[in-house]
Chain A
Amino acid sequence: MSDPIRAGARVFTNAERQLFREVLDVLIPAASALPAAGQAGVADHVERRAEASPALRRTLGEGLATIAILASRRHPGGFAALDHGQRETVLRSASTEAPEAFDALVLHAYSGYYALPEVLAAIGAPVRPPQPLGHEMAPFDEGLLARVKQRAPLYRPTPPA
């Protein structure tokens, strides 16, 4: 069965896709049990969303283009040739030069990352969607209301006509 998070889509060019993976690794880096977003395949998730939305495709493309231009000004080898600190600097510049596009990159990066099973498991979240299983919970304990029940009415009644 195909993985719905990583299911492939093809709206980015190879260059865009490679750049996006590198950007994702800076946005959400690896930490202990948590993978970096680019290495974990989040770009595929975002590309799938972009496939369903031409407007999102344009927005993300604009963001990636801005990042590529800013990176090329620092090094002819582009983003891939920068060290980590330089990459962060480029992304901070992109966030001010193309804020709408950059915010969209971050939003969709987060949306994809926190749907990955290995990420959900690492943070202690259920590794499944909310339905159909739901969650077991103890029923409401009316005894908790003992104090509130002693209160005089708080509401104001309808005044006489």
Chain B
Amino acid sequence: MPLPSWREPVDVLVVGAGAAGAAFTWSVSREGLQALCLEQGDWVDPASYATTRADWEAARQAEWHPDPNVRRLAADYPIQASESPITPLMYNAVGGSTIHWSAHFPRFKPSDFRVKTLDGVADDWPLTYEEIEPFFDLNDQMMGVAGLSGDPSYPPKSPRPTPPIPLGKLGETMARGFDRLGWHWWPSDSAIITRPYDGRHACNNCGPCDWGCPIGAKASTDITYWPKALASGARLVTRARVREITVGSDGLADGVIFHDAEGRVHEQKARSVVLAGNGIGTPRLLLNSRSGRFPDGLANGNGLVGRNLMFHPFAGVRGYFDEPLDGFKGPQPCAMISHQFYETDLARGFVRGYAFQMVRGFGPVNSALGGMEASPIAWGGEHHAEHARRWNHTIAIGVMGEDLPEADNRVVLDRNLSDANGIPAPRVIYRLSENSRRLLAHGIDRAKEALQAAGATCVDSTPLLQTAGWHLMGTARMGADPSMSVVDRYGRCHEVPNLYVVDGSLCTTSAAVNPTSTIQALALWVAHHFKQHVRRP
């Protein structure tokens, strides 16, 4: 029985309203293209964010948990991740994971796009840092960034829209440690505004950015890109979960089939389809879009859809200090970075590198529960003394390593698990590489050295954080060779030239920094070329 046509065909249909989908939709809608975005989540009212409640930390264990398998909101879909030491994390809503991200906003570096040429591993990207630099700058203006240009670990950048976030006593303590060792450090680029900007309030240093920012100082695309995109004529339908991409007799994508909030099925036609469902959701949708012409899933003739999944392997290192650090003041995750060990030095025993991210202190509850996956403080008679030693006396360093692409690390469809609409769920298969193990071990030792140089009286570490799969990349990789990649340098699927990918799936390599700034710049790059090449009716 034919499905009812829900609306007239649109120029471009975007799947997913998160970081990349919002940027893409804004860019094309301001050129007059008819853009329709379908988002399985809903708008989230900033007034509902937990940081205004007395039991705000408890929310992180329930409705604000970053793992959709724990959170289990109506917008979420299950993920089978028992074969991965790293748990995939995401948020499904208008704004996507930017709703409760930490807003680290570093860019990938020039060398990240040339890893094969420079280091003989993985693959070069089919574009360069210089080509997407204008889109980094545009995205910085749209999102609003705090930072400081002049970082010697980067090429010169345009002036940052607002000044750096304050270091506070904790950050200054850590800066002294790096200075004693002669190592690099710099205030993080953060998608947080420190002065009023674009009608938004400046950050008031409340602390827990990843619980959602009720004053709008932290950039999430529901308050940055989406209001402008909608004002330009874009349409956004929430609680619309796309089941599959449909294909015409010419082999081109011609729309999608989706479920509305009540589970009813609709078909929406489009002249182009753009996927922005993240590095798990996008391959899931492609693999679920099977047909006689594409029996193994859409754009998957070479079998690469879902393969080369990259996270950022992440180790946690904690230093405990005698003096209080005021660590509850200031954006919790974003004090500073060190890229001292970012670029390859084979004498270290591994290729590529890692970044240090300084994390401010944990709240009283998270301190009791361990913070960055330390062991929880024991219950019983010694509990209070140990809590006093940790709370407001801890600096944590995250060691974020570059994850090299490996074909066996992948997203497939689970045979037994499906979401509330009966759509097969993704299954994640991932193994930590030996290079990553050596890289993290080196980083843990160096982080302990830095903490001790800063005055820590005791240090400990977690070799690999499990609940750290924020960054989902590589599963529809970009490349010049159609046999080795899924999309070309303009995000266009080699096999289906009116089907595009703009989320982290298209990353050829992962770099060793948070990817959102780069993903959004790539989405704007793809949109720029889309507008030049798309044929309007």
Interfacial chain A residues near B343, Cβ < 8 Å? 154-156
Contact code string A1-12 (vs B, CB < 8 Å = 1, else 0)? 000110000000
Interfacial chain B residues near A124, Cβ < 8 Å? 324, 392
Once the chains are docked, how many angstroms separate the CA of A128 from the CA of B388? 19
Once the chains are docked, how many angstroms separate the CA of A156 from the CA of B344? 10
Residue of chain A at shortest CB distance from B168: A137
Interfacial chain A residues near B248, Cβ < 8 Å? none
Contact A115 B58 (CB under 8 A): yes
Which of A29, A88, A130, A156 has the largest number of chain B CB atoms within 10 A? A130
Interfacial chain B residues near A141, Cβ < 8 Å? 167, 172
Q: Does B391 contact A (CB under 8 A)?
A: yes
Q: How far is the CB of A95 from chain B (nearest CB, A)?
A: 9
Interfacial chain B residues near A151, Cβ < 8 Å? 152, 184
Q: Does B186 contact A (CB under 8 A)?
A: yes
Interfacial chain A residues near B368, Cβ < 8 Å? 110, 113-114
Interface of B is mostly: loop
Q: Does A15 contact B (CB under 8 A)?
A: no
Contact code string A73-92 (vs B, CB < 8 Å = 1, else 0)? 00000000000000010010
Once the chains are docked, how many angstroms separate the CA of A130 from the CA of B213? 10
Q: How far is the CB of B309 from chain A (nearest CB, A)?
A: 26
Once the chains are docked, how many angstroms separate the CA of A125 from the CA of B194? 24
Contact A131 B55 (CB under 8 A): no
Contact code string B319-350 (vs A, CB < 8 Å = 1, else 0)? 00000100011100000000110110000000
Interfacial chain A residues near B214, Cβ < 8 Å? 131-132
Interface of A is mostly: loop
Q: Does B239 contact A (CB under 8 A)?
A: no
Residue of chain A at shortest CB distance from B376: A106
Residue of chain B at shortest CB distance from A116: B54
Interfacial chain A residues near B130, Cβ < 8 Å? 158
Once the chains are docked, how many angstroms separate the CA of A15 from the CA of B2? 58
Q: How far is the CB of B524 from chain A (nearest CB, A)?
A: 20
Q: Does B61 contact A (CB under 8 A)?
A: yes
Contact B52 A49 (CB under 8 A): no
Q: Does B438 contact A (CB under 8 A)?
A: no
Contact B165 A28 (CB under 8 A): no
Contact B111 A155 (CB under 8 A): yes
Q: Does A111 contact B (CB under 8 A)?
A: yes
Q: A129-B56, A149-B152 are in contact. List 4 more A-B contacts (CB 8 A).
A: A27-B383, A133-B204, A135-B329, A151-B184
- Report A's interface with B, CB cutoff 8 A: 4-5, 26-29, 31, 34, 45, 49, 52-53, 88, 91, 106-115, 117, 119-120, 123-126, 128-142, 144-145, 147-149, 151-159
For the complex of A and B, the 8 pairs showing the least CB-CB separation, nearest first, are: A134-B204, A114-B364, A130-B206, A137-B166, A135-B329, A134-B206, A111-B58, A140-B164
Pull 14 A–B residue pairs with CB atoms less than 8 Å apart, ordered by A. Answer: A5-B55, A106-B376, A107-B369, A110-B369, A111-B57, A112-B55, A126-B328, A129-B54, A130-B206, A133-B204, A135-B329, A137-B330, A140-B165, A145-B150
